[in-house]
Amino acid sequence: MKSVLIIDDEAGVTRFYRKLLESEKYEVLISNDAAEGTLSMVKSRNIDLILLDINMPEVDGAYMLEIIKEYNPQIKVIIFSVRTIKEQREYIPYANDYFDKSQSVEILLEKIAKLLKDDCVDSMR
């Protein structure tokens, strides 16, 4: 079972994404706070993919991405925010993919599935 970590300070957002991903048989972890807690979660759990919000109180999404990639470059990260994908890409250029929260959740599921599938192919090689 693949595990997905959602980093977002908005409880309303994490609630239905957890439900969505769990119904698609992913293991879901939520972090809505600071960098330290999130990083320890990344270190202690075997996480395959992270959904990362940009605007958060303690740590900015861009900085968080840096920390995560430094620790484990293999973890796939999808930036997700209410900003448009173009804006997100301009702000954080090095993520694996981007998702606009106002888009359909099906698109997110596709993006997650695709990244994790690539991951499988990579590891098989």
Partner 1 sequence: MKLHSIKFKISVAYTIVLGFLLIAFSVFLYYSLYNSLIEEMDGELKEKSQQIQSFINSFCVNYYMDSESQNEALSKAAELTINIDRLHENMPDNTNIKEEWLKLFDHLDLSEDLIYIYNLDNKEAIYTHSVDSEAGNLFSKNVEHKLSNKQYFTKIKIANEVYRAIQEPFYFKGKMALVIQIATSQKSAIALLDQRKNVLFIGIPVVVLLAVIIGSMLANQMIMPIINVANSAEQISYKDFSQRVRVKYKDEETNILVKAFNTMLDRLEKSFKHIGEFNAQVAHELKTPIAIIGGECEVALRKQQSEEEYRDAFKAIFKESQKMLKITEDLLLLAKLDYSPEIFTFEEFDLKIFIEEMFVKVEKLASGRSINLNLVLPERDARLKGDAVHLERLFLNIINNAIKFTPKGGNISMDVGVKDRNLMVKIKDTGIGISKEDLSKIFNQFFQVITPETQQADGNGLGLSIAQSIAKIHFGKIEAQSDIRSGTVFTVLLPIVLPTAKQFELKTAAV
Out of 93, 104, 124, 125, which residue is the one contacting partner 1 (CB under 8 A)? 104
Smallest gap from Cβ 55 to partner 1, in A, equals 9
The secondary structure of 35-65 as a DSSP string is: HHHHHHHHHHS---EEEE-S--SSS-HHHHH
Question: How far apart (Å, rounded) are the C-alpha atoms in residues 121 and 116?
Answer: 9
Choose between 41 and 105: whose C-beta lies nearer to partner 1.
105
Candidates 7-15, 41-49, 89-97, 117-125 — which segment interacts with partner 1 by CB under 8 A? Answer: 7-15
Q: Which amino acid, residue 50?
A: I
Out of 60, 66, 69, 101, which residue is the one contacting partner 1 (CB under 8 A)? 101
- In three-state secondary structure terms, 40 is helix
